[in-house]
Amino acid sequence: MKRTSFRTGFTGKQRSVRKFATGLLMMGLALSASGKDGSSASTALAASVKAPPPPPSPAVKAKPAAKPRQWLEEGIASWYGEKFQGRTTAGGELFDMNQMTCAHRTLPLGTWLRVTNLRNHRTAFVRVNDRGPILEDRIVDLSFAAAQTLGLDGVGLGQVRLEAVSLSDPDLALAMVAQLQMPSAFVPPAR
């Protein structure tokens, strides 16, 4: 069966005006039919448009959006270096004391941490790649490079705060770029 197209004598502009007028007429009919008390269409249209809510009173303050809880831990940090150089870590990689890594008992391997020395407020970003520390009073074992960055290399122990960070953290990105620009800045201590 052959289709024939139906053509009106209207141009495109006239056709759109006609569609608009038809839509307006249908809306008016729908509004007048929905009026419960027999009022006119304009009254029904005005009633259907809601007024904006009043502004909140100055006494009522909106609560700020809750931030997701961030993992924190504070305690004593130690470091390990030459004695363990080249040994296999719990993550399966070889331990390199010149990398910014650490050992933590419970955090998933691969987690990035911001470590802050609470005495001098130096900060370093480290990746968990091993399990430990062995001693119960410690919360983290840092690589020599991380301990040196934090100023713990001469002391051996220090009070630190650990904060888990995501890979999208801008401070982490800046720290990683800075490490790439100074690849051999860490020298093991003389014995």
Q: Is the pLDDT of residue 36 over 60?
A: no
CATH code for position 142: 2.40.40.10
* Residues 152-175, mean pLDDT to the nearest whole number: 87
- Position 147 in a domain: yes
190 pLDDT band (50/70/90 cuts)? Answer: low
Name the pLDDT band for 34 (thresholds 50, 70, 90): low
The total domain count for the chain is 2
Phi, psi dihedral angles at 12 (to 5 degrees): -60, -40
* 118, 119, 124, 127: CA torsion to nearest 10: -60
Q: What is the Cα–Cα distance from 115 to 139, expressed in whole angstroms? A: 11
> Do 100 and 168 have their domain in common?
yes
Q: Are residues 102 and 177 in the same domain?
A: yes
Q: Which residues pair with 141 in a beta bridge?
A: 78, 103
pLDDT of residue 130: 95
- Kindly give, in sequence order, each residue whose CB lies less than 8 Å from that of residue 56, ignoring residues fewer than 6 positions away: 62
Residue 24 belongs to domain spanning: 13-47
pTM (predicted TM-score): 0.58
106 in a structural domain: yes
User: Looking at the domain assignment, is residue 114 inside a domain?
Assistant: yes
Average pLDDT, the chain: 78
Structure confidence by residue, pLDDT tens digits, 94-149: 999 999 999 999 999 999 999 999 999 999 999 999 998 888 899 999 999 999 99
Residue 134: the pLDDT is 81
Paired tokens of 189? 């201590």
Q: Are residues 168 and 84 in the same domain?
A: yes
Do 87 and 168 reside in the same domain of the chain?
yes
